Amino acid sequence: MEGMGMEYRKFADTYYIRVDRDDEIISSILAVCNAEGVKSAIYTGIGGCKEAQIQTFLPETGEFETRTLRGMLELVSLTGNVVSGGEDGLSHHTHAAFAYKDGDAHRFAAGHIKSITVLYTAEIELRPVIGGIIGKQYDPETGTGFWSFEE
């Protein structure tokens, strides 16, 4: 698929996605899932990014606090999943870790991810769930969603 600012290929049961400059990683992964009919999957990745919205869930308020990082961000680890359920039929749960410079100091930031914008490229491996679908169920005690295994 081209023209969406990314390109991907499927080899065996796995998709390999190259996300290009100025594109957002999570929406790109979800676009591949929607285009290919993937209902649940797990993914990993690395890349060179320029902006990341990192969130921390605050149990006392039941909401996320968001911190935006900007600059040359080395995406050293991206891991997440896509499950059925959500506004567009799919939802994601993503965590990532970034290394970056702050003056002369080397820094590190990680957490739950809302969005990541690519500076140079990102390389994502997307592995669909085979033989079943993982859904999402809402947990009123924590105010978040958890995996639901559909029969």
**Each residue's pLDDT tens digit, 45-83:** 999 999 999 999 888 887 889 999 999 999 999 999 999
Helix, coil or strand: residue 36 = helix
Q: Is the pLDDT of residue 15 over 60?
A: yes
Does the residue 16 lie in any domain?
A: yes
Residue 80: predicted pLDDT: 97
Q: Is the pTM higher than 0.85?
A: yes
Give percent of the chain above pLDDT 90. 74
User: Residue 93: which domain range?
Assistant: 6-149
Q: Is the pLDDT of residue 106 over 90?
A: yes
Residue 136: predicted pLDDT: 86
pLDDT tens-digit readout, 126-143:
999 999 999 888 777 766
pLDDT tens-digit readout, 35-51:
999 999 999 999 999 99
Does the residue 1 lie in any domain?
A: no
Does the residue 90 lie in any domain?
A: yes
CA angle 45, 49, 52 (to 5 degrees): 90
For the chain, how many structural domains are there in total?
A: 1
User: What are the residues whose beta carbons fall under 8 Å from the beta carbon of 127, sequence distance 6 or more?
Assistant: 13, 14, 15, 41, 42, 43
CATH number of the domain encompassing residue 144: 3.30.1330.80
Tokens of 99: 């290394």
Does the residue 113 lie in any domain?
A: yes
Does the residue 102 lie in any domain?
A: yes
